[in-house]
Amino acid sequence: MMGKFEIKTRKNGEFQFDLKAGNGQVILSSEGYTTKANCQNGIESVKKNSKDDSKFERKTATNGKPYFNLKATNGQVIGTSEMYESEASRDNGIESVKKNAPEAEVSDLT
């Protein structure tokens, strides 16, 4: 099964997307966007930038759990992963984004 982007509305009215792997697990989540058009632009940016390993910022949270950000060409964070139990799991998550994002279809749940 292929991955997909899901656009949804937050409680505060902002738009957000999640990238889900073929198994339905969320592998990347966006910030809140004030318009759906900006949210859709964010998805296009993920599709483009996910092909470039240097755009993935590997980080560790204050609780010691690894996670990653995907950054756009301008350095802005366009997506953040969940917290992982290990660096190996985080690196698998990055590979999953690279594999799923470029061809993922978009599902609008708003």
**Would you say residue 6 has pLDDT above 90?**
yes
Give tens-digit pLDDT for 20-75: 999 999 999 999 999 999 999 999 999 999 999 999 999 999 999 999 999 999 99
* Separation of alpha carbons 70 and 50, rounded Å: 7
**Would you say residue 1 has pLDDT above 80?**
no
Q: What is the pTM of this model?
A: 0.93
